[in-house]
Each structure stands twice: as C-alpha cells, then as structure tokens.
C-alpha cells in the first residue's frame, strides 16, 4: 500500500532561477524506510519541509495515506498531515521529562490511555527506565531515541527524519543507525530520512532516492544504486568508478586499447561504460582478455591496495587489489574487466544540468 505519494512537486525560492526541488516524483510503500541523499544544496531539506508542510510547493501533489494534502488548490497545515518529525537537533523540550516529551503530541481522543501508549513506545525504543529523566541527562543517542519515540507515539502515516545521524560521533553512528532502523521496523512505521552521507543511506535504507540540483536522479535499493547507477553523478556519489567511452559492436565494447566481451550485448553505438575498482582483476601475467597497463600510483590501505594505472589511450583506471603482491609506480600489470559488472551509463547527464 502506498503511504506517501509525491507527484511533479516543484519549489523555487523568491526570484532564484534554479529550482530547489524540480518535478519530484516519489512513492513510499507501507513499512518502507527510504533515504533521501544528495550533496549540500541539492534540495533534500526543502523536499522534506514540503512534505511536512513547513514550505509551500509552487506546483505538484502530495498524498499521505491516500489523503491529498497538497495540490494546486490545497495546502493542509503541518499538524493535520499525519506526519511525525524527528529534527536534526532532536528539538526535545528541555523542561519536560522523557514521558512528558512523548505525551506532548498525543491527543486524548486518539489515545484515551496516554500512559499506556507512552509506556509502549518507551519499551519500543528501550528507554523504559528513563521515563522521568530530563533530556539534558541523556546521551545523544538516547535523546535521539526519545525524539523518535515522540514522533512514533501518535502512529503517524509517515515519519520524516532530518539528518538523524549527523550529531553522532563515528563510533556511535554505526550502532545508532542499526537501532533507529530496528525501532522503525518494529513499529511498522514508514519513514523518509535525509542524509548527505552515502554510508547512512547504503547501510540503513530499504531504498534510496538521490537528488542533484533539486531533481531526483534515481530511486532504487542500495544495491541497485551502487551496482546499476543510472548516470555518472549517481555512480560517483556511492564511491569510485571508472567511466570509459566505448563503441558497442558485435556484442563487445571496443575501447581504444582493446575489446571487452559484453555479457548482455548492448545496441551498437557510442556508449559510456563504467566499472567499479573492485571488479577489475589485476595480474603480473597477461591472459587472453587482459589489457596491459602501467602503474602510475599505488597506495596501501591494509585491507586493499588502490592502484591507479593507465591503459594506453584510455584515461586513468583505478583498481582495488587484494593480492598479496605490492604494486609500485612503473610496474607493468595486466587488467581483466569482470564483464558481468560493466554497466552502461546514461550520457544525458552533465554537471549543472537542471531541466
Ligand atoms: N529559505 C530559503 N530561501 C532561499 N533559498 C533557499 C531557502 N532554503 C533553501 N534554499 C535554496 O534551495 C536550494 C536547496 O537547499 P536545501 O537546503 O533544500 O538543500 P540540502 O540538500 O538540504 O542542503 P544541505 O545538505 O546543505 O542542508 C539551495 O540552493 C538553497 O540555497
């Protein structure tokens, strides 16, 4: 069941030429946890605020639980949208205890027995024994769980979380990501969280939507976005990738310095192909499909070596090698591309493209 539906949503601030959010389409199924990622200024916060009702859309539609909350003639107030919000700084009321913070958004009509509901959500977030504490006497991770409990308590249609992991140090982050995901899943809630950190998105979300210049570039599972990025922007956002111009012909990708057999033969023509550094084998001996290359930089990172090499006319190739041999600048090496992991990118994206 579709819980959040966004159609052709756009927002421009004042007289700016650029859209903050441009023609966004997004759909969240019940129980889904989605990450909204993108670099600074890509429009993540604006999209979240449009959904919450803190900003007014220029055009487009938003529905929550099947009820329209925004269209050309409608702009339902934030408090009437059945949305739970977890703010970046948690925004807990300092003079209220944990219980009082959670009680704040609960109506007597929906929950005649408020105490029971508070106890339920405190149990859910593992803070039952902290009910009477004040926020300043809690750790950052605990404060975040209170904020999450407060958002979950009224059983909203969708929970929106603004940069939920950005205030946590690196050690806590891994643990809190897992906790937040588990709590949301246990509650059966549907949630959308904003992050600029691709690790948050890859490790926690069921699906990811990636924004660039206010436009959604791709929506998919972490694996789809990592392994089958639609364009170079998406590919680069999730780590290093080697992109090369190639000509598709006779079931192969022809590069200037050799040919790679294609597993899924593409249509003939000029293409931009891409392969991740871990999907290239490196050897000191040639084999039938290998490309000769010259090492220009080799960096040792303990669990792998990052080798930069030139293969003739093709630009720089980056390889993550796990071999025991250490490579050095000037070495002649032989690279074999894992044809199954070669992916064809959309070439219609270029930096700065807005419409
Ligand atoms: N209130 C505002 N007035 C004018 N321009 C705004 C306003 N809010 C956002 N913008 C502009 O809209 C664009 C998108 O901003 P937004 O804050 O949504 O991006 P973001 O991806 O959340 O960035 P960050 O990660 O830095 O928070 C930017 O160009 C920003 O300058």
- Is 160's pLDDT higher than 50? yes
Residues 6+ apart with CB under 8 A from 349: 217, 230, 231, 232, 233
- The rounded Å distance from CA 15 to ligand 1 centre is 14
Fold of 241-345: OB fold (Dihydrolipoamide Acetyltransferase, E2P) (2.40.50)
Task: Reduce the DSSP state of residue 98 to 3 states and report it.
Answer: helix
- Pocket test residue of 22, 24, 38, 42 for ligand 1, highest count of atoms within 8 A of CB: 42
Task: Reduce the DSSP state of residue 149 to 3 states and report it.
Answer: helix
Q: Tell me whether the CATH fold assigned to 2-235 matches the one assigned to 241-345.
A: no
The burial class, CB within 10 Å (0-12 / 13-18 / 19+), for 16 is: exposed
Q: Is residue 9 within 8 Å of residue 47, measured between CB atoms?
A: yes
Task: Reduce the DSSP state of residue 14 to 3 states and report it.
Answer: coil
Average pLDDT over residues 153-157: 93
Answer yes or no: is the C-beta of 195 below 6 A from any ligand 1 atom. Answer: no
Q: Calculate the average pLDDT of the chain.
A: 91
* DSSP codes of every residue in 206-234: SEEEEEETTEEEEEE-HHHHHHS-SSHHH
Answer yes or no: is the C-beta of 49 below 6 A from any ligand 1 atom. Answer: no
Answer yes or no: is the C-beta of 48 below 6 A from any ligand 1 atom. Answer: no
Tell me the per-residue pLDDT of 165-183, one tens digit each, with 9 for 90 and over: 888 787 788 888 999 999 9
Q: Is residue 107 within 8 Å of residue 95, measured between CB atoms?
A: no
Answer yes or no: is the C-beta of 144 below 6 A from any ligand 1 atom. Answer: no
* 2 φ/ψ angles, rounded to the nearest 5 degrees: -80, 125
- The rounded Å distance from CA 19 to ligand 1 centre is 10
Tell me the per-residue pLDDT of 124-144, one tens digit each, with 9 for 90 and over: 999 999 999 999 999 888 999
Check if CATH label 3.40.50.300 holds for domain 2-235. yes
Question: How many residues are listed for the chain in this entry?
Answer: 355
Domain locations along the chain: 2-235, 241-345
Rounded Cα distance, 99 and 104, in Å:
9
- Pocket test residue of 15, 36, 43 for ligand 1, highest count of atoms within 8 A of CB: 43
* 244 φ/ψ angles, rounded to the nearest 5 degrees: -140, 140
- The rounded Å distance from CA 152 to ligand 1 centre is 27
- The rounded Å distance from CA 83 to ligand 1 centre is 21
Write the CA distances from 67 to 33, 62, 71, 276, integer angstroms. Answer: 20, 8, 11, 43
Tell me the per-residue pLDDT of 295-341, one tens digit each, with 9 for 90 and over: 999 999 988 899 999 998 667 899 999 878 899 999 999 999 999 99
Nearest CA to ligand 1 atom 29: 41
- The rounded Å distance from CA 39 to ligand 1 centre is 11
Return the pLDDT at 66: 93
Write the CA distances from 36 to 25, 125, 152, 202, 210, integer angstroms. Answer: 12, 23, 20, 11, 6
Tell me the per-residue pLDDT of 331-342, one tens digit each, with 9 for 90 and over: 999 999 999 999
Average pLDDT over residues 63-84: 94
pTM higher than 0.90, yes or no?
Answer: no
Q: In what order do the strands lie in the sheet with 242-249?
A: 258-261, 252-255, 242-249, 269-275, 343-345
């Amino acid at each position: 069941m579709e819980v959040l539906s966004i159609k052709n949503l756009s927002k421009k601030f004042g007289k700016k030429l650029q859209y903050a959010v441009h023609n966004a389409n997004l759909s969240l199924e019940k129980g889904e946890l989605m990450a909204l990622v993108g670099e600074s200024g890509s429009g993540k916060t604006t999209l979240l605020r449009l959904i919450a009702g803190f900003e007014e859309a220029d055009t487009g539609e938003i529905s929550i639980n099947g009820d329209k909350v925004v269209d050309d003639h409608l702009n339902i107030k934030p408090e009437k949208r059945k949305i739970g919000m977890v703010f970046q700084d948690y925004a807990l009321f300092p003079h209220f205890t944990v219980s009082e913070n959670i009680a704040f958004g609960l109506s007597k009509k929906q929950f005649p027995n408020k105490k029971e509901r508070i106890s339920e959500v405190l149990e859910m977030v593992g803070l039952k024994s902290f009910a009477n504490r004040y926020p300043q006497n809690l750790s950052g991770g605990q404060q975040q769980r209170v904020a999450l409990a407060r958002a979950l308590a009224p059983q909203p249609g969708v929970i929106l979380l603004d940069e939920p992991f950005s205030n946590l140090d690196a050690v806590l982050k891994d643990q809190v990501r897992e906790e937040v995901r588990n709590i949301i899943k246990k509650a059966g809630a549907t949630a959308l969280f904003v992050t600029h950190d691709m690790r948050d998105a890859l490790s926690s979300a069921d699906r990811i939507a990636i924004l660039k210049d206010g436009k959604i570039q791709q929506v998919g599972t972490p694996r789809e976005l990592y392994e089958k990025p639609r364009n170079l922007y998406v590919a680069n956002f999730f780590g290093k990738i080697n992109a090369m111009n190639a000509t598709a012909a006779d079931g192969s990708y022809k590069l200037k310095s050799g040919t790679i057999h294609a597993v899924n033969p593409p249509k003939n023509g000029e293409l931009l192909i891409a392969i991740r550094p871990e999907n290239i084998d490196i050897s000191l001996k040639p084999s039938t499909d290998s490309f000769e290359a010259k090492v220009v930089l080799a960096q040792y990172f303990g669990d792998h070596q990052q080798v930069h090499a030139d293969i003739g006319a093709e630009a720089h190739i980056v390889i993550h090698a796990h071999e025991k041999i250490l490579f050095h600048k000037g070495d002649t090496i032989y690279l074999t591309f894992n044809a199954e992991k070669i992916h064809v990118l959309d070439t219609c994206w270029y930096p700065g493209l807005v419409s």
